[in-house]
Structure formats: structure tokens, C-alpha cells
Amino acid sequence: MSQPLTDEQISQIMHGIKIPPQPQILVDLQIEQMAPEPDPRVISRLINQDVGLSGAILKVVNSSQYALPNVITSVEQAVNLIGLNSVINVINGLAIRSELSDSKVTQLNRFWDTATDIANISVDIAKTTNFASSEWAYLLGLFHNCGIPLMLLRFENYFDVMEKSYHHPEKRVIDTENDMLDTNHAVVGYYTAKSWRLPKPICDVIAEHHNATYYFRPDHTKDDDRKTLLGILKLAEYICGNYRILGRQQEDLEWNAIGSEVLAYLGLGNYDLEQLEFNYRETGVSIQNY
């Protein structure tokens, strides 16, 4: 199963992967590669912190080259299945493609920072609410905004548009993007996640993650894993200050509209929210200083 893929096979599988990896993660991975005996656990942990690398590895392991009976959603399992040689080739291939200007790297820092933080706090929320799959919660937190770097690479003014979209009190974030750019990061993210062969519920929530007011309105009574995942994500975004980091706003307009409904649906109260915020601060990141 761990027979290394050929360069041609990797190139074919990787076609369409354009999300650049974090420069510091690449540096850390290169250091580990140069060790006399690279540790698969260290490599898996580093990959798991990056949207582009995680998506690439999952796309490889779920490709027709392996024809596995079940979809793999764990990066660590994927690394073990395809082998370190193939993993290192994928990483190096992405590194070559990710020659970004300093200004683009600076802009994307906002995206990279929020992705990892939201993924980690999503796991905490999933465990607090006894959600069956904390792994899915992590994947959704990591990948839900995977359309953002693709939008930035396509539209020079994308972050200006995004800041406007978070500022509008009546429109959804994606409405402003649609008006100004004729597309939005949720749609782009959905098709990206689908191409990576992520589980369908995760792809669906990525597509709908700025449509939460529909799912948490009083007359929406359907309960399923997608709605729970969406609630976990919106709470994680709020705790992590997504509206401040990406939207450059002082108020989370989305959370104001659905926050009480999300907490009620997840079976949480103000004490639980305070505890989750405390847990997040304990990681060394202040939720008040963005």
C-alpha cells in the first residue's frame, strides 16, 4: 500500500491544487525531512495544521490510484497509507508552486491563523457537546474557508471586498461577494473540498456556512449532523474572533443574528461559552487582541 507514487501519478492527482501552504510549515517540514529518520507523526502533525497540505494529502490517498473502500479523513492515516516518500514528493511539489510575494504571504496570514484556531476550538466544542465525530469538526474548521486563498489569487481586491461583506448589517457575507465579484468563497470552497474528496456533509456545510440564519431560524426543525457541524463552526468562528481577523470588524453581525439559537441547539449556555473562551485563551492566543 505504501509503494511510492510516480512523479506522473502525483502530477495528475495534484492537478487543480492551488492553495499555497504556509511558509513556516514548509520550513518545519523540510527540517524534518532532513532528519536521519523522519518521524511520520511529526510530519502528520505539521500537515494537519495547513489547509493546502491537508487537502492535497487527502486527495492523494482518496484517489483512484489507491481505490480504497472507504474515504480517508485522517491525515495521519493517509500518511501511513501512502508512505513518507510519496508524502514528501507531494509537499515538495506544492512548495515549488507556492512562490508568493511578500504582500500575498502577509495577507494570507489572516487566513492561515484563523483556519488552525477554528479547527482546534471546533474539536473542543464537539467534545463538549458529545458530537460523535470530532475529526469531522476539525476538518470543517480547517477547510471551511479554503475558498479564500483561491479568491485572493484571482481578485487583487478580495480582502477589501471581504471586509465590506462582514460590515454589512443586512446582507449575508456571500451576498456582498456575489454582488462585487459574481462568485463567493463558500461556493469556491465547496468545489475545492469536493475535488479533495472530503466527506459530503463537510462539503455541504462549507457551501452553506454563511447561510446559518436559514438553518437556525425558529421554523427550521430539521436536525442532522450537518446542522450540528454548522452550529459548531459558527460558535468556533465567534470564539476565535473570525469577524475581527478576516472581517476587520468590532462586532460579529452573524453571531448576533443566530448566537442564542446556536447555543440552544447545541445544548450550551453562557457558562459553557465562557469555559470554551477560557480554553481558547489558555492556548496562548488572546481572543480580544486582533
Question: Of 122, 192, 204, which Cα lies nearest the Cα of 154?
Answer: 192
- In 3D space, the residue among 253, 214, 197, 223 whose CA is nearest the CA of residue 55 turns out to be 197
Helix, strand, coil shares of the chain as percentages rounded to 5? Answer: 65, 0, 35
pLDDT at 151 over 50: yes
- Looking at residue 56, its pLDDT comes to 86
What percent of the chain shows pLDDT beyond 70?
88
Mean pLDDT of the 96-107 span = 67
Buried b (16+ CB within 10 A) or exposed e, 13-29: bbeebebbbbeebbebb
Q: What is the pLDDT of residue 288?
A: 36
Q: How far apart are CA 202 and CA 198, in angstroms?
A: 7
Handedness of CA 280, 282, 284, 289 (dihedral sign): positive
CB distance 68 to 62 below 8 Å: yes
Determine contact, residues 13/60, Cβ cutoff 8 Å: yes
CATH for 102-282 is 1.10.3210.10
Give the per-residue pLDDT at 83: 87
Q: Mind listing the pLDDT tens digit for each residue in 112-133? A: 888 989 999 999 999 999 998 8
| Interval 214-240 mean pLDDT | 90
Residue of 33, 29, 36, 84 whose CA lies nearest to 60: 84
d(CA 99, CA 94): 9
Name which residue leads in pLDDT, 276 or 99.
Answer: 276
Q: What is the pLDDT of residue 208?
A: 95
Q: In this predicted model, what pLDDT tens digit does every residue of 56-92 receive, in sequence order? A: 899 888 887 777 888 899 999 999 988 888 888 788 7
Task: Give the chain's mean pLDDT.
Answer: 85
For residue 1, pLDDT over 70 is answered with no
Percent of the chain past pLDDT 90, that is, above it, reads 43
Give the Cα separation of 252 and 239 in Å (integer).
10
Confidence of residue 174 (pLDDT cuts 50, 70, 90): very high
For residues 47 and 234, what is the distance between their CA atoms, to the nearest angstrom? 24
Give the pLDDT of residue 182.
Answer: 92
pLDDT surpasses 90 at 247: no
Does an H or E element contain 283, and which? none
The alpha carbons of the chain give a radius of gyration, in whole angstroms, of: 19
Q: 22 is written with which cell numbers?
A: 504556509
pLDDT band at 7 (very low <50, low <70, confident <90, very high): low
234 versus 71: the higher-pLDDT residue is 234
Q: How far apart are CA 270 and CA 276, in angstroms?
A: 10
Domain boundary assignment for the chain = 7-97, 102-282
Dump pLDDT digits (tens) for 181-196: 999 999 999 988 888 8
pLDDT digits (tens, 9 = 90+) for 25-38: 888 988 888 888 88
pLDDT at residue 11 greater than cutoff 60: no
Q: Are 141 and 118 in contact (CB under 8 A)?
A: yes
The per-residue pLDDT for range 154-173, each reduced to its tens digit, is 888 998 999 999 988 788 99
Closest listed residue to residue 290, CA positions, set 216, 225, 240, 230: 240
Judged against a pLDDT cut of 80, whether residue 287 lies above it is answered with no
Q: What is the DSSP letter of 217?
A: S
